[in-house]
């Protein structure tokens, strides 16, 4: 049974191929020591880059260019681009709130809504006992 949007002839032009998605994700500029997530009242979390550090205080710059002074404990680490839109979230290097939300959001926007978190048994699958 085909999903409604798959019958749309324009669908092939709307969805990127897996190769295009992977190439776009893995060629982004990334520094594991500088790229972090910070909390945002509208988005939940937004990407930022650490500009400077002094003790427990850091200065971050958001993607929109705004500078914010924060405590180190208030930022969350960002995963490398190779984990962008990963299907199994157990593979994420940093399994924090911001990374999970970002992965779910990006997969949703790409119409790749199903994800897993490690090995699971389906409740609808008959389990055979020896």
Q: What is the pTM of this model?
A: 0.70
83: tokens are 């984990």
- The correct CATH number of 17-109 out of 2.30.30.360, 2.60.120.620, 3.40.50.1980, 3.40.640.10 is 2.30.30.360
97: tokens are 């709130």
Measured CA to CA, the distance from residue 18 to residue 94 in angstroms comes to 23
Instruction: Give the residues across from 97 on adjacent strands.
Output: none
Chain segment 98-128, per-residue pLDDT in tens: 999 999 998 888 877 777 666 655 555 555 5
State residue 118's pLDDT score. 62
DSSP string, 13-59: HHSPPHHHHHHHHHTS---TTTEEEEEETTTEEEEEEEEEEETTEEE
Measured CA to CA, the distance from residue 52 to residue 34 in angstroms comes to 9
Tell me: pLDDT of 83 over 80.
yes
Chain segment 4-21, per-residue pLDDT in tens: 666 777 766 776 666 776
The residue among 100, 102, 34, 87 whose CA lies nearest residue 62 is 34
Chain segment 27-78, per-residue pLDDT in tens: 778 888 899 999 999 999 999 999 999 999 999 999 889 999 999 999 999 9
């Amino acid at each position: 049974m085909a999903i409604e949007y798959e019958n749309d002839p324009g669908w092939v032009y709307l969805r990127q191929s897996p190769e295009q998605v992977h190439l776009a994700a893995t060629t982004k500029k990334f520094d594991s020591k500088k790229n972090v997530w910070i909390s945002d009242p509208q988005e939940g979390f937004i990407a930022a880059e650490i500009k400077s550090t002094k003790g427990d205080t850091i200065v971050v710059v958001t993607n929109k260019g705004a500078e914010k002074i924060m405590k180190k404990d208030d930022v969350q680490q960002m995963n490398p681009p190779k984990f962008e839109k990963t299907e199994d979230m157990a593979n994420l290097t940093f399994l924090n709130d911001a990374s999970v939300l970002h992965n779910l959001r990006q997969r949703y926007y790409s119409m790749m809504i199903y994800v897993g978190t490690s090995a699971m048994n389906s409740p609808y699958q008959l389990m055979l006992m020896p």
